[in-house]
Amino acid sequence: MVKRKTAGSRFQRALGKIAAWCRLNRHQPIAQQHQALGRKLLGHYAYYGLLGNRSWLQRFRHEVKRVWRKWLCRRSHKGTWSWERFAAFQVRCPLPWPRAGVPPSVATP
């Protein structure tokens, strides 16, 4: 089986769009942000979720978490979200994990 991976430029472009969205929507309630980011990640997984690309999808999830925490820290002057606090939040409200998809050659038309 030939392994496939996300092109670096597409990875950075998708991550940049997520970062811009987080910046523009940081004033929204955290529950709404979590729900929207979950949908965005599921869409990314659906498009790039080929067999052999799981490590890049996991890396994308990690980078989205890092970017989201950065913009949560910039919501006010009340303090930042430490990684411990963010990890505790992620236990209660985790972002979806990637699932392996079916290669296009196996999919039925």
Mean pLDDT for the chain overall: 82
**Within-domain flag for 13:** yes
For every residue of 67-108, DSSP letters joined together read: HHHHHHHTS-SS----HHHHHHHHHHSPPPPP-----TTTS-
Q: What pLDDT score was predicted for residue 100?
A: 63
Q: Is residue 108 part of a domain?
A: no
Asked, for residue 44, whether it belongs to a domain, the answer is yes
* Position 18 in a domain: yes
Q: What is the pLDDT of residues 14-67, one digit of tens each?
A: 899 999 999 999 889 999 999 999 999 998 888 877 777 778 888 989 999 999
Q: Is residue 104 part of a domain?
A: no
**Whole-angstrom Cα distance, residue 66 to residue 84?**
13
- The pTM assigned to this predicted structure is 0.78
Q: Is residue 76 part of a domain?
A: yes
Q: What total number of domains does the chain contain?
A: 1
Residue 22 lies in a domain: yes
In-domain check, residue 1: no
Cα gap 21→41, rounded to integer Å: 13
Domain with 37 in it: 8-92
Where do the DSSP E strands lie in the chain?
Answer: none
